[in-house]
Structure 1
Amino acid sequence: MLLSHRLADELGLRAGTTRLRVGQSEACAQIELSKQDSRPQRLFLSSDLIDSLYVSPEDCLYMWWDKNYSSLRLGPVLGIMGSRRTNTGGVFGQTTEIIRDCVRLARRRGMLAYAFSPRDIDWVSKSVRGWVWTGAVPKRMRCPLPDIVYDRVASRRSETSTRMTTAKENLLQISNLQYYNRVFLNKWDVHKMLESYPELKKHLPPTQELVNSKILETYLKKYPVVFVKPTQGSLGAGILRVARSSKGFAYRLTRLDHPDYRGRASTVAGMVRVAERLLRQDQYIVQRGLSLAHLNGGPFDIRVLLQKSTRNHWTVQSMVARVAQPGNVISNLADGGQIINPRRAIAAVFGPSIKPSLMTLRIRRIAKAAALAIEKEIEYEFAEVGIDLAVDINAKIWIIEANSRPGRQTNEAGQRRVSMSVVRLVRFLRSRGLQ
C-alpha cells in the first residue's frame, strides 16, 4: 500500500503494517510512503489487496482511520437490497429506477455502492456479485459485503421467501452492519402504534382488526361506508369498499391486474357472506369510510415523504396530492391517479375558507409526528417513510397509511423533488457510514 507523506500524516499512519478494511472485507497491508507527493490524496494498492478486498482501481472512496477497529477504512460500502425480476425490463422490476439512481449518485459521492439480491451473495468469500450502473446498462462487479444495507425489496411475497429471510438473518448477525427500512409495515400494527399517542389518535378513522364476521357486521350497521383492507397490502390492491343505500349494499374490490370486481348485496348477512368469499388473505382491518374532499370528480389524498437528515432527524422532503380518477376508490398512480401541488388542491376544493399554507403546515406536522412514533415503537432504523393523509369535506385531516418503502412520484408536479429525494437519501446513508 503506497501513499504520500502528507496523506499518511493526515491519517496518523507511519511506515509499517496496518489493517485495511472495506465493508466487511479486511486485509493486512504493508505501508510504504511515496517519495513524491504529486498525487497527495491518492492511495495505491497492490493487485493482491485489490483482489482480496473486492475493490476496483477506478473506485474513488473516502479514507479514514477507524479507532473502533484500529484499521484504515475505505468506503463506506452501500448495498441496496432488491428482489430480482426476470420477466421485466429492469433487473429489479419496478424499483430498478430508484435503485439505479441511488447507486449512481452514491458512487459519485465517494461510496462503493451496488445493488444486490440474496442470490448474489457469496457467504463463503464474504463478497457480493453486485449490480453497478456506470452507463445505461448495468454490469456485474465483485464487491465486499456492505457496511450499510438500504432495503428496497419490492413485494411482500419476495420479502417472506426463504432465500430472502435467510439472507436478512445472516446480514443482521453482522455486528457493525447498519440496516435501514428492513420491513414492510403492517396496517394494524401501525394503527395500534399511532393510537397510543393522543395527538395522533384523533386523526385516525375508527379501525378494528377483522378477527370475525361480527366485527364486519357491526361496522356495516354503524357506518354508511366501510373499507376492508389487507394488513399486508400495497398499491391499493385487495381493498373492499362497501357503501350502504336504501337498496342494500354496493361493493367494489380493487384489483391491480384485472378490472375491479363489483356487485350488490341486499342484507347485512348477505354482504358478510360476500366478504368472506372475496377476502382470501389471512389478515384484514375494517375501517370506517371517510367523506373525503373531491377534486375533478375523484377523492384525493396527500403523500408526505419524510427522510432523515445527516443529523438523524426526520425532515419533510416532499408533499404531493394524489387525485383518483372519477369513480375510483384509490388514488395510487398505478391505478390511474394523478398528482398535483397540495396547496392547489386545497385551494380548489375549499376556496377562501381555508388557507392552503396553514393546512399544509398542519399536514407536515402530523406526518412528522407519525414518523417519529412509528420509528420509536417499531425499534427499527428507517432512512425514509411515506405517510398518506387525507382531508374530509369538513377540512379535518386523517392519517390513512404509512409506507416504509415509499415510491417516487414521477409526473411534472413532483419531478424536481424526485431527484432531490435521492440526493438527500444518499447523503444520509453516507453520513451513517462515515460515523
Structure 2
Amino acid sequence: MRKPYLIEVAQNDQLVVFCPPTFLKDKELTRIAFGSRSIEVDFIAHPDQNDRISISREIQKALHFPNFNTPLHVFFDNHSLIIGPLVGIFTAGFTTLPTEPIGERTLFFSKLLSVNKIVGAFPFIFGEQHIDWDQGIIEGHIFHNDAWETVEVPFPNVIYDRLPNRKSESNPILIKVRDRLQKEYHIPWYNPGFFNKLDIHERLIQDETVAKFLPETLPFTSFSSIETMLSTHGHVFIKPKNGSLGLGVHQLIYDKYNDDYFCRYQDENGVNRLRKFSSLERLMSNVFSNQSLEKMVVQQGINLLRSESRTIDFRVHTNKDDLGNWHVSAIAAKIAGPGSVTTHTRSGGEIKTIEEIFPLEESTLHKERLSDAALLLSNSLDRHVEGIIGEIGFDLGIDRNGDVWLFEANSKPGRTIFSHPGLKDFDLLTRKLSIAFAVFLTEQSLLHPEEIFT
C-alpha cells in the first residue's frame, strides 16, 4: 500500500492549503480537488509536517469535504492537488430505517466502509435517488464512529458497482445512471455486470493458457447431447445460464451396468432429492416439466476430491490491489451436504479451511494449484471481458488426479465463506483490496485516461 496523508480541517477561512514541502518541489500547484469539485487556492509548505495536509473551513465547504480528519492519498494533475480517492459504491435496495439503510446488507456495507482509514480512501454508499444532477452532489451514506450518517459529497473519482442482483442490473433507470456517469462525467466504473456461465466459458475456451481448466460445457439443445456427455463422463450437471447460489442445479447420473438414470437436485421445498428413472426421456419429462431448458447449460461431471464420502469444491477470491495487480485474497473448502447436489450452505454444505481437511503437505499443494489457476483465470478474464474488473470469486474443483477445474466465475462474489472463524483475516483482506483498487483506478484515470475509457 502507498502512503496516505492525514487531511485535517483547520479553524480558519483562508483559501490556503498547508502541505508537505515535497509537494511544492518542481510543481506549480494552484488548485485542490476532491472528487468532481475543485477550488483555486494558495499552497504553503508545512515547516515540520510531512504526513498531513491542512485545509480551511472555507475550502472544506467549497469541496463538500466531510469534516473528519481522515487519511487520503494524493494525486497530481497539471496544477491540481487531488485528495482521495472519493469512492462511490453504487447499489439498490435502500430502506428508510436509519440503522439499516441498506436492509439486510447493511452489516456487510458497514464492514466494507470501515476499511477507509487503513486504505486511505473515502468510500460512501449511494443509489440513483441520491444524485442531484443539477448541483453535482450526492447524498452519500457513510459509516462513521459506528453509526450511519448521510453527507453531501461531490461526484466521486471512481464507482464500485455493488448492485445486488440481475434484476437491478437490468433496470433501465439504473442503466441510464451508469451510462451517464461513465460517458458524460468520465467516472471509471468497476465490477459492472453479473457473469453469464456460457458466455464466460466461450470466452475462456479460446485462451490456451486457461482452456485446460474448463469442463465441457454446452447450451442445452437436445436429449441426445446429454446422452453423449453421460456416456462419456458418467454424470453431468444441468445449470441455469444466469443462476446463482446453487439454485436450479441438477446432477444427472447414468448407471451403465443397470441402464438406469438418476437425478439429484433440491426441490421447491428445499429438500435434497435423488430419483431413479428407467430412461433419460422419463427423467427429463418428470423433473424438468416446468423449466425452460433453453435457459440451461449442460456441464461435464468431474470426479472430485471427497471428505467422508462428500464432494469438496473450493471458493477462491482474487482481487486487484492499489497497483492494479491480481492477488489471491481468500481460499476456502466447501463440503457438500448429505445428498446435496451442491456445496452451498443453504443445501447443508459446510465451510472449512483447507488445513482442516487435508494434511499440511497436501493442503499446501492444493493451495498452490488453486492459486496458480485462479491468477491465470483472473488475467484471462481481464483480457476477454468488457469493463473494469477488480474482484472475482471462483468456484474451483480438484479431481482425483490433482487437476484443477473451473465451475463458475462470479463478478460479485458472495461472502458466505467468511462466516468461518478461520477466514476472518481474509474477509478483511478482500474488503481492503476491493477499495484499494480505487486508488489505482483514480491514478490511471489521470495518467492514462485512454486506457480506462476506451
TM-score by length of 1: 0.85
Contact 2:19–2:54 (8 Å) recurs in 1: no
Aligned counterparts of 1:63 and 1:374: Cα–Cα separation in 2: 29
Contact 1:221–1:268 (8 Å) recurs in 2: no
Contact 2:18–2:55 (8 Å) recurs in 1: no
Aligned counterparts of 1:170 and 1:19: Cα–Cα separation in 2: 26
Instruction: Report the Cα offset of residue 154 of structure 1.
Output: 1.9
Aligned counterparts of 1:120 and 1:257: Cα–Cα separation in 2: 39
Contact 2:18–2:54 (8 Å) recurs in 1: no
SS of the aligned residue for 2:210 comes to helix
Aligned counterparts of 2:162 and 2:75: Cα–Cα separation in 1: 31
SS of the aligned residue for 1:198 comes to coil
Q: Which moved more, 1:132-141 or 1:256-265?
A: 256-265
What runs of 5+ residues in structure 2 fail to find an aligned partner?
A: 1-13, 445-454
Residue in structure 1 matched with residue 310 of structure 2 by the alignment: 298
Amino acid in the other structure paired with 1:333: T
Task: Deviation per CA, 1:324-347: give whole Å up to 9, x if none.
Answer: 212111112343322222244344
SS of the aligned residue for 2:147 comes to coil
Aligned counterparts of 1:281 and 1:52: Cα–Cα separation in 2: 57
CA shift in 2, pair 1:4/1:31, >3 Å: closer
Aligned counterparts of 2:49 and 2:269: Cα–Cα separation in 1: 57
Contact 1:236–1:254 (8 Å) recurs in 2: no
SS of the aligned residue for 2:114 comes to helix
Instruction: Report the Cα offset of residue 181 of structure 1.
Output: 0.9
TM-score by length of 2: 0.82
Aligned counterparts of 1:2 and 1:14: Cα–Cα separation in 2: 19
Residue in structure 2 matched with residue 79 of structure 1 by the alignment: 88
Task: Deviation per CA, 1:208-252: give whole Å up to 9, x if none.
Answer: 012455534544555432211111111111112222344743324
Residue in structure 2 matched with residue 351 of structure 1 by the alignment: none
1:337 to 339, 349, 362: 349
Aligned counterparts of 1:394 and 1:38: Cα–Cα separation in 2: 62
1:323 to 323, 331, 335: 335
Residue in structure 1 matched with residue 216 of structure 2 by the alignment: 206
Indicate yes or no: 2:432 matched with 1:420: no
Task: Tell me how large the CA RMSD over aligned residues is.
Answer: 3.3
What runs of 5+ residues in structure 1 fail to find an aligned partner?
A: 349-353
Residue in structure 1 matched with residue 16 of structure 2 by the alignment: 3
Instruction: Report the Cα offset of residue 262 of structure 1.
Output: 6.1
Aligned counterparts of 1:310 and 1:33: Cα–Cα separation in 2: 29
Instruction: Report the Cα offset of residue 289 of structure 1.
Output: 1.8
Residue in structure 1 matched with residue 181 of structure 2 by the alignment: 171
Indicate yes or no: 2:36 matched with 1:29: no
Residue in structure 1 matched with residue 325 of structure 2 by the alignment: 313
Aligned counterparts of 2:232 and 2:73: Cα–Cα separation in 1: 63
Contact 1:249–1:265 (8 Å) recurs in 2: yes
1:250 to 262, 265, 281: 262
Residue in structure 1 matched with residue 197 of structure 2 by the alignment: 187
Instruction: Report the Cα offset of residue 174 of structure 1.
Output: 4.4
2:400 to 393, 399, 414: 393
Report the count of equivalent residues: 425
CA shift in 2, pair 1:391/1:64, >3 Å: closer
Contact 1:371–1:387 (8 Å) recurs in 2: no
Indicate yes or no: 2:285 matched with 1:285: no
Contact 1:132–1:141 (8 Å) recurs in 2: yes
1:240 to 239, 247, 250: 250
Residue in structure 1 matched with residue 129 of structure 2 by the alignment: 119
